[in-house]
Structure formats: structure tokens, C-alpha cells
Amino acid sequence: MRTTLKGSARFLSILSLSMIGLAPGVVSASASTASSPTWNYIARPPYVQLGQARPDGSFPDGIPLCNSSSLQNIVCYSPAFIKKAYQFPSASSLDGRGQTIVIVDAFGSPTITKDLSAFDTAFGIPAPPSFTIFCGDSATPLDTRTCPTVNFRDTFHGVFAWTIETTLDVEYAHAMAPGANIVLDVAATSSGNAINTAEASAMAAYPKSIFSQSFGIPEGFITANDGQVLQAHKNYAKGAAAGDTFFASAGDTGATFGTSTAQSNFPASDPLNTNVTGTEGLPYIPPGYLTADNYAGDGLVSGGCPTSTPFSCTTGLSAFHGPCVLGRLAPPDCVPDGYGGEQVWNEPQFGTATGGAPSLLFGVPSYQNGLGLTARGPDISYNAAIDGGVLVYYSAMGSPVVFIVGGTSAGSPQWAGIAALTNQARANLGKGPIGANLNPAIYSIYHSARYSTDFHDVTVGNDQLAGTPVGYSATSGYDLASGVGTPVVDQLIVDLAAQ
């Protein structure tokens, strides 16, 4: 296996698997790294700020279109639109009850508790059975000795972006599995060591949980301390043995992360994680396009959106019907109907595109055999568009504001919610959590007659970031840009529960 790291003057050595107990294809530390410098994970979800929330704390009307000071009629989705598009089961049948989702982030957000409450109120979502902020090694959110102080002037670590990331992750993991317990695992800083320490503590405190990691570092940037990669993998192995499941985001700057070399995002590339890439609507509706004067019957919008009401049309990912007012902040809201279509997420106007490329660190895991891969590749995908993003309530900077947030950051926590529903369905059958068997189960379904029932096969688009030389195109079946595709949740759960 080729294990060169871009920008490094050395190669990572592969030690005897029998000596270190790693799974086949996992790269090991080459030497002692006790004195090696650390590196920092990146969490920078792309977003558009709509403006302040209304005085009563509620969100704008007019969904699935929103208006900001800079963008008019940008596609925006509430949890109800996402859940309808991906065919989530009704909350009365499965809501994640009895399961725990652990959201791993650095720094946290000082207002996350009240922001989650306001988000729930705005969208009619019940509060989680429990919401715990787990800081360091203690579930004591008021203990300032273990919870970091949020310093918004810390631009080196991107603290402001981490607070948005935290808010997105908590709100949308909960929205997809409202009956699950939510734990926010807050690392003291964004270094690999700090994240490893925080995650190991949470694994010990919350076994058989589902972990969401909407952060990463391009593999080629790990030039001085592969020991942190090894420690993270040891954490995942220990968690997998305890019944944990791990999701991680593929990244938001294409197959190369703005470099000249295709590479994956770590920790998404670790074979014990489920690697989530991004999609956008098909057709993709440019900001400002879908208005009363410019949408009827021109072919861009499937079937057109008649100016008379009631009507039915699509904003790409989601189909919906009226009567409703498009492009204005006025009721009544449009009603989601279900799935529209998807392509690989690539929005050059925002300088973003999904990650998705062969790993530089990990060989082909056994569950990806037969796909024609030369190294570990992504597994699944989920909506990540900015123009087509999700609505997030945020007040950490003072006045409450509403963001439309996209990126593969949005996919990891929502897939964690799907895993919580799966584990609840398995518990109803007298089975344990799916744990580390999730990836083998996904590929077992992919190779079966149930593939087209359980997944949307993404066959359009590519992950080549504008201005970079390398990208991968979607094809029928598995591909590096979208994995096996996006979920048809209620059908997928049936088969994951039966595994």
C-alpha cells in the first residue's frame, strides 16, 4: 500500500499487524511521537446568514425558500423537508428512544442549551430525553475547570466556526432522532490530542453509543504526528468492541482540498468510521431563480411550478406543494411531499465541493472488496448544499440569528440520527446495536437486490473543486464522490435491523 504523505519527507512504516493488533490496511506510527508537534482538526461549515430571528424566536416563513441581505430566494430546508425527502419513519414508530448520540466538537458553544430549546420550539420538535454537555472527563457543564472558555477572538483555532459547527451538529442529530439522548462531547481545543482525549473519555462513559465527528484534517497535512492517527484508531477499535458506531465528514473542498493531490479526510478515512460525502439537489436551483415570475414550465424545475394554486414542484432534493408563497417571508408555508433528486455536491459560486477520494493512509477494507478501489474510499452521502442547506438557530454572539448551513458537516450528525433509529429498531427485535457492523451491512445491502430500495444511487456530478486538477465523477453504483448513495431511511432501517 502506498502511504506517502503529501508534504512529508518520510514514509509511514507499516509494522507487523500481529505486533500492534490493527486491522489489515491500517497504517501505523513509524516511531515514537511523544515530542512531535500536534496538528489541529478543522471544522468550518459553510453557511449563509439570513439575519436575526423574529422577536418571538421563530424562523422565517416561506420555506423552502429564504431571503438574506445578499441572496434572494435561496433554497432552505427545515427538518420536516429533509425527513420527508429521505423518507424517515414517523416519530411515533421510531424516534431513537433508548439510544445515545455523542456529538464530538472542540470548544462547544456557550448558548447551545438555549439554542437547542429555541430550535425545537420553532420546528415543533420535542426536547430530547436528556441533553448532556460532557467536558473533558466530566458531565458537568457548569464546571469551568473542565469546560473551555469560548474565545471568539481565537482565529487560529477557528473558534467561531466551531460554535456554528456545534450548533448544527446538536440541532440536526436531535431533529432526526428526537427520542435519543444527546451528549455534546467538548474537547478543550481542536488539536488531535485533545479530540482523542475527549472522545476516549466519552466512549468510556457512554458505551454502545453513536458518535458524530463533523471535523477533519486532509491526510496530506498530517506531516509530523501520525501517532495521533494511531491513537484515534485505537480509540475507534476500543469503541467498536463496546458496540459504538462512528460517523465522520468527508470535507468541503473537493477531492484534493485545494491541493494538487487527491486525498481523503481523516478521521473519515479510518475504516472503523463511516465516511459521509455530500450531495445537492437535482435540478440545482440557483439563488434568486425560483420566483413567481421565473419558474413556470421552463424545464429547469421538474414539471414547472404553476403560478396558480394549489401546485406541486421541486427545489431539487425536496418535492413540495402549495398553496404557499414562494420567495417571500409570508405564510402559508409550503408542504413537503418527498424526494426530488440529487447530484454530487459542487457549488463553485461558494468555493465548495464535497470531499471524496482514495485514502493516502488506509488500504481497502474487506467490506469494500470488489469495488475496484486501490485504497479506502468513502461510504455514503447526504445533502450538503449551501443553496439547499438546513436552517440553524444560533445566539452565541448575542442576538439570535438564523443560518442556512451546508457542507458534509450536516451529513454526519443526521446519519447518526439514522443509526439511532436503527438501533432502536434492533432493540425492538431483541438485538444489540449495529456498532462496527454498519459498514459491512451497508455493502452487503449494496451487493443485494435491496440496494435500489434502500439507497438513492447518485449518478450525476463530480467532486472536482474549481481550480484544482483532480476530481471524481458519479457513476451508476458505487463511486468515490458519493459512495453507495443517500438513504431511503425507512427501508434501510428494515434491512439494517435484520442484519
Averages of pLDDT over runs of 10 residues in the chain (499 residues) are: 29 24 31 52 93 72 77 88 97 96 96 95 95 74 56 84 97 98 94 93 95 97 83 97 98 97 98 98 84 45 46 82 61 82 97 98 97 98 97 93 96 98 98 97 98 98 97 98 98 97
Confidence (pLDDT) at 327: 53
Q: Give the pLDDT confidence score for residue 378 in this predicted structure.
A: 98
Give the C-alpha distances (Å, rounded to integers) separating 80 from 175, 186, 239, 320, 338: 9, 28, 32, 11, 10
Q: With 0-12 CB in 10 A as exposed, 13-18 as middle and 19+ as buried, what is 55? A: exposed
State the Cα–Cα distance between residues 23 and 21, nearest whole angstrom.
7
> What is the grid cell recorded at 475?
457513476
**Contact assessment for residue 466 and residue 458, using Cβ atoms and an 8 Å cutoff:** no
- Measured at the CA of 448, the angle between CA 445 and CA 453, to 5 degrees, comes to 70
> How many helical (H) and strand (E) elements, i.e. helices and strands, does the chain have?
10, 22
The CA distance from 62 to 329, in Å, is 5
Q: List the Cα angle 32/34/38 in 5-degree steps.
A: 115
**Type of residue numbered 156:** F
Radius of gyration of the chain (CA): 21
3-state DSSP of 276-305? EEEEEECCCCCCCCCCCCCCCCCCCCCCCC
pLDDT score for 68: 74
Distance, first Cα to last Cα, the chain = 31
Dihedral of CA 335/340/346/347: which sign? negative
CA distances from 41 to 139, 145, 155, 345 (A): 23, 23, 13, 22
> What cell was used for 392?
440553524
Could you tell me the domains of the chain? 88-280+347-498 (3.40.50.200)
The alpha carbon of 361 is separated from its chain's Cα centroid by a whole number of angstroms, namely: 21
Model pTM score? 0.90
Q: How many CB atoms lie within 10 A of CB 453?
A: 13
All cell numbers assigned to 434: 449495529
pLDDT at res. 301: 42
Distance from C-alpha of 439 to C-alpha of 286, rounded to nearest angstrom: 35
| pLDDT confidence of residue 335 | 84
The pLDDT score that the predictor gives to residue 234 is 97
Angle at 82 between CA 81 and CA 87, to 5 degrees: 100
Measured CA to CA, the distance from residue 356 to residue 109 in angstroms comes to 29
Sheet hosting strand 335-339, strand order edge to edge: 312-314, 318-321, 335-339
User: Do 106 and 146 meet the contact criterion of CB atoms below 8 Å apart?
Assistant: no
473: three-class secondary structure by DSSP? strand
Q: What is the pLDDT of residue 288?
A: 73
- Report the C-alpha gap between 83 and 494 in whole angstroms: 17
193: cell is 490530542
